Structure 1
Amino acid sequence: MTPAPDADAALIAAAQGYFAARRAMVPGFVSRTFGLRGTLRLHRQALGLDILRAPVNVMLAPVLILTRLSALASRKAGWSRLADWLGRRRILLATDVARATERRIVVDLLQLPWADAAGRSERDALAEAMLAEPALRALIARRLEAGIEARVARTLGEYSGARAAVAEMTTAMGTLGAGAIAFQALTPGMISLAPALAAILAQQAALAAFPLGGLLGSMWYGLFPAAASPWLSGAVILGLMLTGALAAAFAGIVADPVQTALGIHRRRLLRLIDALEDEFTGSGRRAFAAREHYFARLLDLADAGLATLRMFRG
């Protein structure tokens, strides 16, 4: 039997009231979770296996971008099943920090059921909002069976990916500042920072090995600077990339309070709630998209481009 239109409209109205209440909770949630104290509590989780997962996620990030672009192209071509399949792929490894963040969003902000190794929460504010209307009880199962739980999980995965991309950008800003201070050069990433650092290491090694002493060595290599070998340059690039990937695991300690102050966390969570509301009450086409991945990859391209330009100039 098809539900009456007025009952279905009441169901949607109850759900809209639930999502409106979630939006009102966002400012307080952001302050508690992503302020300095909150992010320090979150990043205690990064002291474990996240140190190994972070470098892998940096390497997987281009695969994620390729998957998302392929999903978009497939949808434009009319291959909706392939687009949906690609869109459901969760390429990045789930870190402990991401899981802790997702738990807080689900339990504290969305107030939906959650169970993991850290514990179980049975609160279901969405069902409570519907059960407040007795006429809607018969319709609750039909609406929940539409796969809202899977869609919440997929949306949260995209949200966690956005946080990982912001961590990468924060690390890139760190290398940019280090290059400006130490080398007076534009270094938006580890690849463009590596040649300058390799040149300094080669110069120091040459001075230490100069047979006529440090003073004469300084004079000689001041006129004829030592060149870094390809092996040294490669080792420095690899070491810096690993260092940057490890730093990304903890970069949120800096990035979260800044994003909180700028309102970025608030706007991102509101977009997430908008997407979930559309999944439940609308067309389901207003998906949450993590734009930060694309900005992070633009920084990678700039980094590689500057390094290539300096190599040809050198």
Structure 2
Amino acid sequence: MRGQTGTGRARDERLNAFVRNHFLWPGSLRLHRAALGGDLVRAPLNVMLAPVLVATRLIAWACGALHRPRLANWFGRRKLLLRTSVAARVEALILTEIMGVPVSGATPGRAGLVRAILAAPALRDPLRRAGSVDDAEQMAERIVAALSEYSGARAATAEFTTALIMLAIGAAAFQTATPGAISMAPGVAGQVAQSTAIAEFPLGSGIGGLWYGAFPAAPSEGLMAITLLGLVLVGAVVATFAGVLADPVQVWLGVHRRRLTRLIAVLEAEINHTPPKPFVAKEHFLARIFDLWDAALSILRALRG
């Protein structure tokens, strides 16, 4: 901390306290209570929307490279993922405990966060320096957008954690790499088809086991589809609560601290009216690597099979 200002030291202390209180147990468990309810529906939808989000980010990057700033800004600002209660809780806690902005409600909507920022005594002077009411509202909306990007990074890390869990399960159960539902579905469906065929064998399950041990039962297309859908839904539910496992690990590795430091730097640049430092969640791309790996493995197995 040597060489830092008092404000800098106070900020670091708030960051450290925030990480300890909310991302280690039992804080992470308390945080994920908010997921019980609507998040169980939002999570599967977000899993399906996440690749589309990554596609829009890539298009935004391409537009920027082609010197089309308006298109790049438009694609970059698309908010395709549904806002979860856990994300809302994290965003409200950051504003309250780190930025000193009082927020009403445990899981406020984005409009509620904007109103809280505009009404915050701690931000009164920066908002006045924005110039006009419209400029102040746009500043508040940019702060909320950065918070949303941060919470999206946490969600993408939870997806990454879920992929690691599925990879471990596949290695233990099927002795093969299964980084996602697509690659795991054939193994699970095959086991179900095999067990069902043995149980229904006319001469009894003992002889059925011998018969299907030599001639394994193949799963039907319908069973494959149902299995894939079930695994996607289960994976989405696991991803909803994967932060309970991922949060402490990220604390120990310093990931939470670094990510929060990046976010606060962006928010402070916005408040101080210095050149913007956009917060970009690269974790979305990391999670999609497993999707591509999953799809590639499935295509290779289909070509071999």
Q: TM-score, normalized by length of structure 2? A: 0.88
Q: Which moved more, 1:152-161 or 1:207-216?
A: 207-216
Query: What stretches of structure 2 of length at least 5 have no aligned partner?
Result: none
Q: CA RMSD in A?
A: 2.2
Aligned residue for 2:154?
A: 163
Q: Which moved more, 1:141-150 or 1:291-300?
A: 141-150
Shift of 1:93: 0.6
Q: Is the 8 A contact 2:92 2:107 kept in 1?
A: no
Shift of 1:113: 4.2
Structure 2 CA distance, aligned partners of 1:32 and 1:118?
18
Aligned residue for 1:3?
A: none
CA deviation vs aligned residue, 1:154-193 (integer Å, no higher than 9, x gap): 1011111111111111111111111111111111111111
Q: TM-score, normalized by length of structure 1? A: 0.85
Q: Is the 8 A contact 1:203 1:221 kept in 2?
A: yes
The reply to whether residue 236 of structure 1 matches residue 227 of structure 2 is yes
Aligned residue for 2:51?
A: 62
Structure 1 CA distance, aligned partners of 2:106 and 2:261?
28
Aligned residue for 1:188?
A: 179
Query: What stretches of structure 1 of length at least 5 have no aligned partner?
Result: 1-15, 131-138
Distance 1:195 1:118, change over 3 A: closer
Question: How many residue pairs end up in the alignment?
Answer: 288
Distance 1:72 1:42, change over 3 A: same
Q: SS state of the match for residue 83, structure 2?
A: coil
Q: Is the 8 A contact 2:85 2:107 kept in 1?
A: no
Distance 1:261 1:71, change over 3 A: same
The reply to whether residue 72 of structure 1 matches residue 72 of structure 2 is no
Q: Which moved more, 1:226-235 or 1:142-151?
A: 142-151
Shift of 1:213: 1.4
Structure 2 CA distance, aligned partners of 1:124 and 1:70?
39
1:197-212 to 2 correspondences below 5 Å: 197-212=188-203
The reply to whether residue 253 of structure 1 matches residue 244 of structure 2 is yes
The reply to whether residue 34 of structure 1 matches residue 34 of structure 2 is no
Q: Is the 8 A contact 1:113 1:124 kept in 2?
A: no
Greater RCO structure (CA 8 Å; 6+ sep): 1
CA deviation vs aligned residue, 1:282-305 (integer Å, no higher than 9, x gap): 221x21110100010010010111
Aligned residue for 2:99?
A: 110
Structure 1 CA distance, aligned partners of 2:262 and 2:289?
23
Aligned residue for 1:277?
A: 268
Q: Is the 8 A contact 2:174 2:187 kept in 1?
A: yes
Shift of 1:117: 6.6
CA deviation vs aligned residue, 1:113-172 (integer Å, no higher than 9, x gap): 434476897654455xx6xxxxxxxx8612374533111101011111111111111111
Report percent identity of matched pairs. 49
Q: SS state of the match for residue 203, structure 1?
A: helix
Q: SS state of the match for residue 36, structure 1?
A: coil
Letter in 2 for 1:22: R
Q: 1:143 aligns with which of 130, 133, 148?
A: 130
Structure 2 CA distance, aligned partners of 1:260 and 1:124?
31
Aligned residue for 2:79?
A: 90
Letter in 1 for 2:189: A
CA deviation vs aligned residue, 1:3-25 (integer Å, no higher than 9, x gap): xxxxxxxxxxxxx9756643442
Shift of 1:226: 0.9
Letter in 1 for 2:37: G
Aligned residue for 1:133?
A: none
Q: Is the 8 A contact 1:23 1:273 kept in 2?
A: no
Shift of 1:313: 2.0
Q: Is the 8 A contact 2:92 2:106 kept in 1?
A: no
Distance 1:27 1:61, change over 3 A: same
Letter in 2 for 1:283: P
